Amino acid sequence: MFKKTSFLFLLALVFMLQPSATHPVAKATAQKSTSIDLRLLETTDLHADLINYDYYLSRENNRIGLVQTASLIRQARNEVKNSLLFDGGDHLKGNPLGEYLARIKGINKGKIHPVYRAFNHLKYDAIAIGNHEFNYGLKFLNTALKGAEMPAINANVISIKTNTPYFKPYVILKRKLEDQDGKKHDLNIGVISFMPTQIMKWDKSNLEGRVFPRPIVETAKEYVPIMKAEGADVVIALAHTGITDEPYHPDTEDAVYYLTKIPGIDAILSGHSHSVFPGPSYQKIANTDMKTGRINGKPIVMAGAFGSHLGIIDLNIKKVAGKWKVVNGISQVRPIADEKGKPLVQTDTQLYKLLMPEHKEMVKTINKLGH
C-alpha cells in the first residue's frame, strides 16, 4: 500500500512539472527595448563671423569663423548614426561684413545672404531668430529669410496686426532615425524657439507698432503641450537666452534655468550670453551637473559665440509603454582653437570657397577706406 501511494505521488509530481500546452514557459529574459541615440549640434551667436578673419585688424583669426566650426560639424556628424544641426540666433549682425551687406549692398532679389547660403550648404535643420536679427529692421530680415531653406522659428514675438506669432513658432521635424540594431524608425522632433523680451528696448524704432514680446517661460508652457498633442516625440528648445538661477519674473532676460523645469522639454540649446556651457562660469548654478551638462536633470549646451565652439547634446531615446522617451542626455562643447588661438581644426575648404565673393568684396572695401 505504501509503495503504491509513493508511486502515485511521484507520478503526480512528474505531471505537475511538465510544461502545460495552455501555459507556455515564460522567456528567461525580457525583450530588449528599442534604443535610439540622437546627437544635437548647435552653433549660436555667429554675428556674421563666417570667415576666420578679423575685418577690424585685417588679419586671419582662428578663434572665430563658421568655416572652422563646419569642420567640427562634419566630424561630429561622422561619429554617429543620427544627428540634427541647429543655430541659436544672432547670426546676421556683429561685424563689418554684416553691416556692409545690410546697410550698403543690401540683398537684391534672387540673391541669398551668405549666412543663409552657409546654413543651406551645411544643411541646418532649423534656426532660431535672435534679438540682433531685428537690428536692420523687419523688411531686411524678411527679405534675407527668403533665402533660408530651413525653418526659421520664434514663438514669443507676436504680430500686433494678427495677435499671433510673427514667425513660425515651432516646427515638428519628421525624421527616420536608426536604432542601435540598425532598424529605422519614424520620429517627430519638435523644435521651438524664444528670445528676450528686451527687444522692445534694444530695437524700439524697428519694432514699435509692429510686434510685441511675450514672456519666455509662459510662452513655453503654452506651446509645449500643443507640440506634444501634435505628435512631437521629443521637444528641443532653441533658447536665445542665457543661464541664471536668480528669481524669475516675466522680463527675465536669461531664462534657461526656468525652461528646464517645464515638463515636456527634453533638451535646451542656449545662447545670447556668448558663454560656454558646460563651463566654469556656471558651476555655482543650483542643481547643475557639470560632468553631464545638465541643469535640473535636463541637458543644456551653450556654444560660445562667433563660431568659437560647437555645442553637442547626445540623447538616448527609448520606447516606454509604447511612446518614445528621452531617458538620458549628456552635453559637451568642442572649441575650434586652443587658449592661445592655435587652430584645432582645418578650414572647411568648400564652405570657404562658397563665401569668398562677399569676403573678398569686404576686404577690398576696407582697403579702399584705408587709403
Q: Between β-strands 298-303 and 294-295, what pairing exists: parallel, antiparallel or unpaired?
A: antiparallel
Q: What percent of the chain has pLDDT over 70?
A: 91
Quick one: 44-369 is in which CATH superfamily? Metallo-dependent phosphatases (3.60.21.10)
pLDDT, residue 110, reads 77
Instruction: Give yes or no for a contact between 260 and 296, defined as CB atoms under 8 angstroms apart.
Output: yes
Higher-pLDDT residue of 234, 32: 234
Instruction: Give yes or no for a contact between 277 and 299, defined as CB atoms under 8 angstroms apart.
Output: no
pLDDT, residue 105, reads 86
- In the predicted structure, residue 20 carries a pLDDT above the cut 80: no
Based on C-alpha coordinates, what's the Rg of the chain?
A: 26
The string of pLDDT tens digits covering residues 294-343 is 999 999 999 999 999 999 999 999 998 899 999 999 999 999 999 999 99
pLDDT, residue 26, reads 40
Cα angle, residue 118 at apex, residues 114 and 120 outer, rounded to 5°: 115
Joined together, the cell numbers standing for residue 134 give: 531685428
In this prediction, residue 32 has a pLDDT band, given cuts at 50, 70 and 90, of: low
* Average pLDDT value for residue range 5-27: 42
Q: Between β-strands 83-87 and 157-159, what pairing exists: parallel, antiparallel or unpaired?
A: unpaired
What is the C-alpha to C-alpha distance for residues 61 and 51, in angstroms, rounded to an integer? 9
Is the full-model pTM beyond 0.75? yes
* Average pLDDT value for residue range 231-239: 98
Q: 132-163 burial, b if ≥16 CB within 10 A, otherwise e?
A: bbbbbeeebbebbbebbebbbbbbbbbeeeee
In this structure, of 14-23, 199-208, 214-223, the range with the lowest mean pLDDT score is 14-23
pLDDT, residue 27, reads 44
pLDDT, residue 106, reads 83
What is the C-alpha to C-alpha distance for residues 361 and 245, in angstroms, rounded to an integer? 45
The string of pLDDT tens digits covering residues 148-160 is 999 999 999 999 9
Higher-pLDDT residue of 26, 364: 364
pLDDT, residue 299, reads 98
